[in-house]
Structure 1
Amino acid sequence: MIVRGLLVIVMSFMVVQGAAAAAKIQRVISPSGIEAWLVSEDTVPVIAMDFAFRGGSAQDDAAKPGVANLLSGLLDEGAGNLDSQAFQQRLEETSVEIAFGATRDSFDGSLKTLSEKKEDAFELLRLAVTEARLDAEPIERIRAQTLARLRHNSTDPGDIAQETFAASAFPDHPYGLRTIGTEESVAAITRDDLVQFRANNFARSNLVVAVVGAIDAETLAPALDRIFGALPAEPKLKPVAEIWPKNIGQNQVIDLDVPQTTILFGRGGLMREDPDYIPAVVMNHILGGGTFTSRLFTEVREKRGLAYSVYSYLDPMERSGLLAGGVATKNERAGEAIDLIEAQFRSLSEDGPTEDELAKAKKYLTGSYALNFDSSAKIARGLKQIRLNHLPIDYIDNRNALIEAVTVDDVKRVAKRLLGDGQLLVVAVGKPVGFGSASRGGVAPEAARGAAAE
C-alpha cells in the first residue's frame, strides 16, 4: 500500500507522461504570510516536511566556524519543558522523525510523521525551532562527537582534500571555511554563540517550506503559523561577497603515506540562475557526470584503467559556482591521470560534443529525473531545493523540455565558457608522482568569467 501510494506521487511528477506537475503543487500562504509549497496526497497516511532558513554556515563568524553545524545537532536535544531525554522519548512515542543540518547557504530541517500524529509532530517541531533549550550536557556531548569526527577527518584523504580545496578556491571567504569547523573553533563555541546564531538566522522571511502527503491546504496554512509564527519577521544576516574560484592552474599537494592519491579538481562554474545552467548540466553529463558514458570515465577508467571512479559535477552556490570533480588512483599514475583529465576538459572546450553524445545525455537526464521524486520525503526535499534555487513553481513540469531544447551549439558555447584552456585547481593527497606543488600557468578565473558575463 505504501509503495503504491508513493508511486502515485511520483507518477504525478513525471513529465514524460505529459502531466501538468505544476498543477499538483499548491502555493499555501499562512495568515501571517509564511509560504509553503504543498503536494497534497492522501494515498499514504504520511506527511513529510522539508524547510530551510537561507544563510547557513556562511553566516558563521570567520574566527569561529562550526556554530551552525553544532546548533543543528542540538535543536532536538531538549526544548520547552522537555529535557533531552524527555524530548527524544516523546519523538519515539509519537513515531516522529525530526532532523536538522547546515550547508554553506542554508540551515535545513525536516519532519516526517503519520498524519494521525501531525499535531504532536508540529508541536515538537515548533519547540525545536523556537524553544530549543541548549542545555550544557547536550552541548558538551554533541561537541565531543564533533571533535571526534574532526580528529577522524584529519587523517582521511578525502576530507583532507576537501578542506584544502575549499581553502584554496575560496581564500578569506566563508566558502573556504569548513562547515563543521576546526578542533580549535568547535572547542571555543559557547552557548551564547549558538543562541546568537539562532536569533540572527531563524526568521520568517528567509524561511522556505515544502510539504508532501496527507494534509490539505486549509489544515497546513494555520499549522505553519503554529510552528514558525513566533519567529521574528526578518533575519539579521551578514552580507556574503560574491567570489569566483581562485588558484586555477595550481597544484596543492598534501603528503600522506597512503598507497593511492586522492585528487580533487575544479574551476569556475555557474550560479543556478545563470541562463546557461541547463546547457551546462548537459555538458557536464557528457564530460564526467554520466557513470558509464562520460568522457572522463571512458578515457580514465575504460581505456587506461587508471581509476575505479572518476567524475565531475556542477556546484551552484548563492554567491559562487564550481565545476569540480574527483578521482583516486595509484600514486605513480597520479600525474598521468590529471594530465588526461585536463586534456578532456580542453578537448570538449575546443571541439564540443558529438550528436550521439548529446542524444545519450538527454535520454539519461530526462529519463532519470523522476527518480529524484520516488518518495514523499524526496519530493519535499526537491521542492525545497527548487525554492532555494529561486526557480518557479512549474519548474518540475518544464525541466525535461529545457533539457530537450539544448543543442550541440549550446553545449559548444558553454564548454568554451566553462572549460576554457582546461587548466584546473588540483588538490592531491597521497604521494603523487608526476606533478608537484607548482603553477601550471592557468588563466585567472575572473578573466575566464568576464569573457562570458551573465
Structure 2
Amino acid sequence: MKYLLTALFAALLALPARADIEIEEVTSPGGITAWLVEEPSIPFVSLELRFRGGASLDLPGNRGAVNLMVGLLEEGAGERDARGFAEAAESIAASFSFDASDDAVSVSARFLKETQPEALALLRDALTAPRFDADALERVRAQVISGIRSDLKDPDSIASAAFDRMVFGDHPYGSAREGTEDSVAALTRDDLIDAHAGVLTRDRVYVAAAGDITGEELSALLDDLLGDLPATGRPQPADVAVTTEAGATVVPFDTPQSVALFGHEGIERDDPDFFAAYVMNQILGAGGFESRLMNEVREKRGLTYGVYSYLVPKDHAALYLGRVASANDRIAEAIDVIRAEWERLAAEGVSEEELAEAKTYLTGAYPLRFDGNGPIADILVGMQMDHLPLDYVETRNDKVAAVTLDDVSRVAERLLRPEALHFVVVGQPEGLEATPGQ
C-alpha cells in the first residue's frame, strides 16, 4: 500500500501548476464550515485543519504545554497505543502531521479515497481521544528537551529568542513555544489534557480539503470528525505593540561568524497597504539575488552568502524582519550597508524597472504554488485564517499588478523606519557597539 501512496504523490507533483481553481464552501449540519477544491482525477484526498491560538494559549507557568500536547496527538489515541496507531495508519497508506506555531495548531491528513473511512476514524481518535500514555509522554518530552538544548547552541535560535524577549517581554510571543527545559520537565499529563481541551475547540477551527471528495461527502464527515471537540476554548492573548530603537544588542557567542536578526514594527495582513508593502519587500530583501540587500551586501561587497527580509503579520503583532550572517570582522560593515539601504528606499522609493520586475516575478510565481492537492488545501485553510474571500485566488495577482510607484513610495516612507531598526547580533562582532539598555 505504501508504494501505491508513493506513486500517487509522484502523480500529484506532475499535475500542471495552476491558480484557476474552483473553490466551494460547504457547511455541515452542525454548522462547521470548510472550503473544498474537488479533484476526482486521482483517488486521493488532502485535508487541512487549523485551530487558531496555538502555543500563544499556554497558561502562565505551563510554557510548552501546547507544543508537547500536539506532539503526542498521534502517539496513541482511542484504543491504540503509539505503535498501534502508527501501524494502523501505515496499513492504509494514510499520513498525519501535527504542529504548533505561535498562532495555530496545524493538522494535515493525506489518505486514499478507498480507505477514507478508516483514515478519518484514526484522525478523529487523534483529535478527540489522545491517550497521553506515560511512556509516550516521557519519550516525546525527552525529544522536546533535546531540541531546546540544541537551540541553546544555535546562533539563529539564540538571536530569535533574544529579539522576541526584547520586543514582546512577558507576552507569549516573548518566549519560545517549546518552553524551557524546566517548564517542559514540570508538565504533567493533566496539563496536557487541559491544553487539549482549551486549544482544540470548534469555535476556532478552519477546514480545507482538496482531492477526490465531493462537497456533500465533506459536509457529512465534518460533524463526525470534529463534533465531539469542546465548543469553546481559552481566550486569545492581547495584542501587543512593537516598539524598538535603532541600535544593536550583542549576545556573545564563540563562533567565527556572527548572525544578526534585525527589524522593527511591520504591517498587518488586512492593512490596505499590505500588497504595496509585499511588493516593496520583494525589491528590498525577498527577491533573492535580484534584491537590493543581496546586491549591496553580497554581490558588491562580498560580506555574506545571504541576506533577506520578510514580513511577519502575526495575529497579535506585526513585524518586519531580516537576517544576515557575516564574519565577525565584517558584520559591522554588513549592518551599516543594510541600514543605508533601509534609509535609501524609505527616502527615494524604487525604480520603474525594479517595480516591473518584482510584479512580474510575484504574479508568475503564484500559480506554481498550486502544484497538488496538499498545497492547494494548505492555501485554502491559510486564506480562511487570514480572513480572505473565496475569490482571492482569482484577484490576488490583480492586486499585485495594481501596485504603483506612488504606492511603494508611500508604504516605504511609512513602513521603513531607520530610527527603529534594531539588530540582535549573536557572535563576537568586531567594531560594533552595543546600544546601552538594549
Would the aligned equivalents of 1:343 and 1:422 in 2 still touch at CA under 8 Å? no
The DSSP-based 3-state class of the residue aligned with 2:173 is helix
Would the aligned equivalents of 2:246 and 2:421 in 1 still touch at CA under 8 Å? yes
Would the aligned equivalents of 2:246 and 2:418 in 1 still touch at CA under 8 Å? no
The DSSP-based 3-state class of the residue aligned with 1:121 is helix
Alignment partner of 1:389 out of 386, 389, 403: 386
The DSSP-based 3-state class of the residue aligned with 2:225 is helix
1:125 aligns with: 123
2:177 aligns with: 179
1:232 aligns with: 230
Deviation of residue 439 (structure 1)? 5.0
Q: Distance in 1 between matches of 2:93 and 2:377?
A: 19
Would the aligned equivalents of 1:244 and 1:320 in 2 still touch at CA under 8 Å? yes
The DSSP-based 3-state class of the residue aligned with 1:38 is strand
Alignment of 1:113-192 (within 5 A): 113-192=111-190
- Can you give the 5+ residue segments of structure 1 that lack an aligned partner in the other structure? 14-18, 442-454
Q: Distance in 1 between matches of 2:214 and 2:436?
A: 59
Alignment partner of 1:258 out of 231, 255, 260: 255
Aligned CA RMSD, in angstroms, stands at: 1.6
Deviation of residue 10 (structure 1)? 3.5
Deviation of residue 238 (structure 1)? 2.4
Deviation of residue 244 (structure 1)? 2.6
Q: Distance in 1 between matches of 2:158 and 2:215?
A: 46
Letter in 2 for 1:163: A
1:299 aligns with: 296
1:444 aligns with: none
Deviation of residue 64 (structure 1)? 2.3
Deviation of residue 5 (structure 1)? 5.4
Q: Distance in 2 between matches of 1:30 and 1:228?
A: 10
Q: Deviations over 1:331-390 (max 9, x none)?
A: 001111111101111100000011111001001110111222212111111111111111
Letter in 2 for 1:73: G
Does 2:272 align with 1:271? no
Alignment of 1:4-19 (within 5 A): 10-11=17-18, 13=19, 19=20
1:411 aligns with: 408
Q: Distance in 2 between matches of 1:181 and 1:305?
A: 38
Q: 1:400 to 1:422 in 2, by over 3 A?
A: farther
Deviation of residue 421 (structure 1)? 2.9
2:352 aligns with: 355
Would the aligned equivalents of 2:263 and 2:422 in 1 still touch at CA under 8 Å? yes
Q: Distance in 2 between matches of 1:196 and 1:116?
A: 35
Alignment partner of 2:35 out of 34, 37, 40: 37
2:24 aligns with: 26
Q: Distance in 2 between matches of 1:299 and 1:93?
A: 54
1:373 aligns with: 370
The DSSP-based 3-state class of the residue aligned with 2:203 is coil
2:66 aligns with: 68
Q: Deviations over 1:285-342 (max 9, x none)?
A: 0110000111100000000000000000001111111110100000001111111101
The DSSP-based 3-state class of the residue aligned with 2:76 is coil
Alignment partner of 1:110 out of 108, 111, 119: 108
Would the aligned equivalents of 2:45 and 2:211 in 1 still touch at CA under 8 Å? yes
Q: Distance in 1 between matches of 2:105 and 2:321?
A: 23
Would the aligned equivalents of 1:205 and 1:233 in 2 still touch at CA under 8 Å? yes
Alignment partner of 1:48 out of 40, 46, 49: 46
Deviation of residue 6 (structure 1)? 5.4
Alignment partner of 1:434 out of 426, 431, 434: 431
Deviation of residue 283 (structure 1)? 0.6
Deviation of residue 8 (structure 1)? 5.0
Deviation of residue 109 (structure 1)? 0.5
The DSSP-based 3-state class of the residue aligned with 1:107 is strand
1:197 aligns with: 195
2:89 aligns with: 91
Q: Distance in 2 between matches of 1:280 and 1:63?
A: 37
Letter in 2 for 1:82: R
The DSSP-based 3-state class of the residue aligned with 2:153 is coil
Range with greater deviation from structure 2 (72-81 or 58-67): 58-67
Q: 1:378 to 1:295 in 2, by over 3 A?
A: same
Letter in 2 for 1:50: E
Q: Distance in 1 between matches of 2:50 and 2:214?
A: 21
Q: Deviations over 1:52-110 (max 9, x none)?
A: 11111110123221111111110001111111111111011111101100011111101
Letter in 2 for 1:399: R
Q: Distance in 1 between matches of 2:422 and 2:192?
A: 35
Letter in 2 for 1:363: T
Q: TM-score, normalised by structure 1?
A: 0.92
Would the aligned equivalents of 1:203 and 1:232 in 2 still touch at CA under 8 Å? yes
Alignment partner of 1:222 out of 220, 223, 226: 220
Q: Distance in 2 between matches of 1:39 and 1:248?
A: 46
Q: Deviations over 1:131-167 (max 9, x none)?
A: 0011111010000001111111111111111111111
Q: Distance in 2 between matches of 1:191 and 1:428?
A: 38
Q: Distance in 2 between matches of 1:282 and 1:247?
A: 24
Q: Distance in 2 between matches of 1:144 and 1:5?
A: 36
Deviation of residue 7 (structure 1)? 5.6
Q: Deviations over 1:255-284 (max 9, x none)?
A: 111110011001110111111111110010
Letter in 2 for 1:149: G
Q: Distance in 2 between matches of 1:91 and 1:248?
A: 51
Deviation of residue 423 (structure 1)? 3.6
Would the aligned equivalents of 1:242 and 1:320 in 2 still touch at CA under 8 Å? yes
Deviation of residue 247 (structure 1)? 3.0
Letter in 2 for 1:354: S
Q: Distance in 1 between matches of 2:331 and 2:309?
A: 17
Q: Deviations over 1:235-257 (max 9, x none)?
A: 2x224121132333242211111
1:208 aligns with: 206
Letter in 1 for 2:78: G
Would the aligned equivalents of 1:423 and 1:440 in 2 still touch at CA under 8 Å? no
The DSSP-based 3-state class of the residue aligned with 1:409 is helix
Letter in 2 for 1:54: R
Would the aligned equivalents of 1:256 and 1:429 in 2 still touch at CA under 8 Å? yes
Deviation of residue 9 (structure 1)? 6.8
Deviation of residue 219 (structure 1)? 0.9
Q: Distance in 2 between matches of 1:6 and 1:148?
A: 34
